[in-house]
Structures are given as C-alpha cells and as structure tokens.
Amino acid sequence: ASTLPQGTINLNQCVDVVDGESRTGQKHSLCICTPEKDHYIRAESKEIIHG
C-alpha cells in the first residue's frame, strides 16, 4: 500500500535524524529534527530505513 505525500521537509534545515520508534511506538520510524519542528516518518520495513 502506498501513501500520499502529506507535506515537505526542507532537509537543508535538518539538525539531526534519530530513531523515532521510542518516541512514537511505531516500528520503522524516524524523527527528522529541524529547529521549527520534529517530523516523524515511517517505513514498511527496517531495510527501507537503513537503505
């Protein structure tokens, strides 16, 4: 199943990328941290997250 884009993140403003699972309880999630907001994204598998 695919999802529709829900927004954009300016990665030039990214200050950190951390595991999001401990914060969200969602498996295979990442937190992309910017000064304005923490953005949480989720993949279908850990292979996608780890590239």
Q: Would you say residue 32 lies in a domain? A: yes
Domain count, the chain: 1
- What stretch of H or E contains 3? none
For Cα atoms 13, 16, 21, give the angle at the middle one, nearest 5 degrees: 125
Q: Would you say residue 33 lies in a domain? A: yes
Which of 30, 25, 24, 23 has its CA nearest to residue 50? 30
Q: Would you say residue 11 lies in a domain? A: no
pLDDT value for 35: 97
Domain that holds residue 24: 19-44
Answer yes or no: is pLDDT of 50 > 90: no
Which of 29, 28, 38, 33 has its CA nearest to residue 16? 33
CA distance 33 to 13: 8
pLDDT tens for 7-37 read: 999 999 999 999 999 999 999 999 999 999 9
